[in-house]
Structure 1
Amino acid sequence: MGNWDSYTTGQRVKLLRGTDFTQETLAEAAGVSVGTIRKIEQGGSVSLPTLLRVSEALHTDVSVLVGQQAPRRAMAAADRAALRGLSAAVHDTAAGIGIDAAPPEESVHAAKLAAAWELYQLGDYTGAALAVSPLVQQAAAMVKAMLADRVCAARGVLSDSYRLAAYCANLMGARDLAYAAVGHAQTQAELASDPLRVALVASGRSWVYLRDSRLVQAQEVAEQAANAIEPRYTDSDPKRLAVYGCHIVFASVVASRRGDSDRAGDLLSHAHAVGARMGNDITTNGVSFGPVYATAQAVGINVALGQAGKALTLGKSLGDRSALQQATQNRLALDLSMAQCEARMWDTALDTLMSVCTEHPEWARHQALTVILGRRIGKANKGALRKLGGVLGADLLAG
């Protein structure tokens, strides 16, 4: 794909509809004639209201249609629809809009939220975004309708919903929406007087900082949140240990990205100790942690520190990885591919990358690193790189 502003409006419409729409189905979705769609794609002039209807049907902004801003890489119509719905849910509920409906049963909502988290942990970020959008609105309705003695619990649920919305937005590249959602999650967690949820939100904020290349703030927030909930030596609550350990290992990840090997090593050792106290991995409130998770993260930490050999040795030591969520397993494969690349094991690196991307394309196309790594591996196997580029929606042989 060339520079987005170099295309005509008609070319942009054709690119955006891709394989998601035919001219006929786009016309039906937009409420215009097929002739109008053909006219646009052939370079003809149409009115702004028509362009607005077409952009709405394509789940994108009209500014993208006319070339003022480019669409995100590899974002299909379903992705754009999910993000628009998520944005509406987050911003409308924060403004008190659309929260007058009868709230759902708490148990029903909890089950649906758990299912949305499961989609996220599988790496289906579009599916998770679609699932959590109505749950944000329903949780806000619960807060409004709840009696005083139950309102704190409802605020905790709303905080969890906003936090998942922030995670989805962050991975789908909508950084402003991620910041907004995590801010609303923090407010609700504080109003719920729930220190553990406040810490969970802080973890989410530090992750948004990391994706936004604000590494100093990411590490500060992660360590401060961990210190705020540090368990006593006698505290054996697995949920508290899991949340605490997750913060510690994330702070180690950020330290490794900053090149601070001493701090990364200290934090990682502490994370391993917490994992050993737990004995096994658990998932709670949308986060996972335990001894296997700590080792999996250690692979990526060592890659970031330039210790590819150690990363590969750790990868071999993992053995059974079934305790890891699917998205974590996918990221581990990506880290191993990077380590293999650093060790100049080009064919092995390509095989590892190809395997995870073809088996989990919905996850892969939201990972910018997959494209960077694919291009770095080189052009020895052009056929494989073309196939991988098709999965990722990028030309891996460019540049």
Structure 2
Amino acid sequence: MDDSPTDTRLRELRRLRGLTQERLAELAGVSPGVVKKIESGGAARIETYHTLARALGVRTSRLFEPAGPQPNPHADAGKLDLLSMRKAISPPVTLSGKLDLGPVDDEPNLAHLRQSAQAVALAYHRDHYPRTAELLPGLIRSAHGAVEHYDSGTERAQALTVRSEVLQMAGRYLTQVRAYDLAHMALRDAVRDAVAVGDRLNAASGVIGQAWVLLRQGRLDEAEELASRTADEVEPRLSQASREELAAWGWLLLRASAAAARNNRPDSAGELVAAARAAGSALGEEVTEHLRGWGTFGPLTVDLKAIENEAVADRPDRVLAMSTRLPQGVGRATSDNWNRHRLDVAAAHARLRHGDEATRLLVEMRRQAPEWLRHQRLAAAAFTDVVRTRKRSLTADQRDLAEFLSVEL
């Protein structure tokens, strides 16, 4: 087997520091088999790479160097269940330069189109993923049709704005279900539409989504640079900023912080969270806009993401301590951000061998947000920790969780 970039870089860095596989595993707190697996061309969770990079004293991105194309059986192009979404997001272009959309309505109704977009956004934020996947392709085609229909004037600008919002929503959904390349395509086009009508805030919202995709792909340097640079460009005066300006700026800082935390740069991550906290404090409460890439932002969201950074740094005791001090009475975070926090807490309990509490949280999340939980690799990893450290036989709930999360017993 030819070396992949990660196994080659891990081996080189380990040897450069004079470490055996066993010693690196000990320093990282993983089993020697994990190091051997990666250096033999296998793959691991992104959190494992963070841990190994910390032990080696390098950025996580050092383990992912550019290389030639590698076969990827999990690539987006192989997912037939995304075919309708792919056709909607990237229709062919004819010799006229127009999108080949097939039959479309003669006169688009922009008000109705935006109402439909709001309804689909609400379905997404309520974790109704099957419904979101069912409605999005038709909504995207309608948005394309509106842009193609209006070639100038106010209606053209409105059509581009709605398409930008719809594509941002598609990008968020596709990122959540790990269709990263398709998500990036949707979000890139969303930013272009927003820029075309001079809507910098909407464009910044699309950048927030792009940074999330880059994070999920392990492109940490790019994610931090993109989010930080855009935050600098849109930084408002706190005393005069609108709620949307504060939310967009704050979320860009949180994306940059998340990238820095995953890239083993905790000091930078902390500084970026502190800046985001200033935006949250200026708002004083959570504010929500479902058609924007930031969804909800405020003091609670900042605290949730600060706790997530502690989870990434493998400090479960800090996760649990900070979770008990979350602010009260400032509104609710979006369901996906709140669920991610609960998952971080469950994983912290699992890491500290509080198996019953981790199980309780995972069972509760399965009941309340099954479609969201199904796509979270951290859930399977946390429950694997519970199973591995449990000395008694599994409960009925734990056996059900193992089946739901595809964890081998």
TM-score over 0.5 for the pair: yes
CA offset digits 1:275-317 (Å, max 9, x no partner): 0100111112332100111111122111112332222122112
1:294-305 equivalences in 2 (<5 Å): 294-305=302-313
Q: 1:386 to 1:93 in 2, by over 3 A?
A: farther
The runs of 5 or more residues in structure 2 that have no matched partner are: 1-70
Whole-angstrom distance in 1 between the partners of 2:212 and 2:74:
23
| C-alpha contact 1:163 1:201 (8 A) present in aligned 2 | yes
Counterpart of 1:104 (choices 105, 108, 131) is 108
| C-alpha contact 1:386 1:395 (8 A) present in aligned 2 | no
- Cα distance, 1:174 vs structure 2: 1.8
The percentage of counterpart residues that share the same residue type is: 25
Whole-angstrom distance in 2 between the partners of 1:349 and 1:153:
47
Whole-angstrom distance in 2 between the partners of 1:218 and 1:244:
15
CA offset digits 1:46-97 (Å, max 9, x no partner): xxxxxxxxxxxxxxxxxxxxxx99689xxxxxx964x222111111177602
1:210-359 equivalences in 2 (<5 Å): 210-284=215-289, 285-286=291-292, 287=294, 288-318=296-326, 319=328, 323-359=332-368
- Cα distance, 1:141 vs structure 2: 1.4
1:142-161 equivalences in 2 (<5 Å): 142-146=146-150, 148-150=152-154, 151-161=156-166
Structure 1 residue aligned with 2:381: 372
Aligned pairs, number = 324
Whole-angstrom distance in 2 between the partners of 1:237 and 1:137:
32
Whole-angstrom distance in 2 between the partners of 1:93 and 1:170:
23
| C-alpha contact 1:229 1:244 (8 A) present in aligned 2 | yes
Whole-angstrom distance in 1 between the partners of 2:321 and 2:329:
15
Bigger mean CA offset, 259-268 vs 84-93:
84-93
Paired letter, 1:106: L
- Cα distance, 1:205 vs structure 2: 1.1
> TM-score, structure 2 length as denominator?
0.73
Counterpart of 1:203 (choices 208, 211, 214) is 208
CA offset digits 1:358-392 (Å, max 9, x no partner): 32111111112211221122242523332112223
Paired letter, 1:264: A
Aligned residue for 2:90, secondary structure, equals helix
Aligned residue for 1:102, secondary structure, equals coil
Q: 1:396 to 1:300 in 2, by over 3 A?
A: farther
The runs of 5 or more residues in structure 1 that have no matched partner are: 1-67, 73-78
CA offset digits 1:81-120 (Å, max 9, x no partner): 4x22211111117760216423432221111111111122
Aligned residue for 2:288, secondary structure, equals strand
Aligned residue for 1:382, secondary structure, equals coil
Structure 2 residue aligned with 1:64: none
- Cα distance, 1:147 vs structure 2: 5.4
Structure 1 residue aligned with 2:15: none
Aligned residue for 1:378, secondary structure, equals helix
Structure 1 residue aligned with 2:88: 89
Does 2:135 align with 1:127? Answer: no
| C-alpha contact 2:347 2:378 (8 A) present in aligned 1 | no
Aligned residue for 2:194, secondary structure, equals helix
Whole-angstrom distance in 2 between the partners of 1:113 and 1:152:
16
Structure 2 residue aligned with 1:27: none
Aligned residue for 1:188, secondary structure, equals helix
- Cα distance, 1:261 vs structure 2: 1.1
Counterpart of 2:400 (choices 387, 390, 393) is 387
Structure 2 residue aligned with 1:139: 143
CA offset digits 1:166-192 (Å, max 9, x no partner): 222222222221122122222212212
- Supply the RMSD in Å over aligned alpha carbons: 2.5
| C-alpha contact 1:386 1:396 (8 A) present in aligned 2 | no
| C-alpha contact 2:236 2:245 (8 A) present in aligned 1 | yes
| C-alpha contact 1:116 1:131 (8 A) present in aligned 2 | yes
Aligned residue for 1:283, secondary structure, equals strand
Q: 1:249 to 1:137 in 2, by over 3 A?
A: same
Whole-angstrom distance in 1 between the partners of 2:128 and 2:234:
30
Q: 1:103 to 1:203 in 2, by over 3 A?
A: farther
| C-alpha contact 2:285 2:331 (8 A) present in aligned 1 | no
> TM-score, structure 1 length as denominator?
0.75
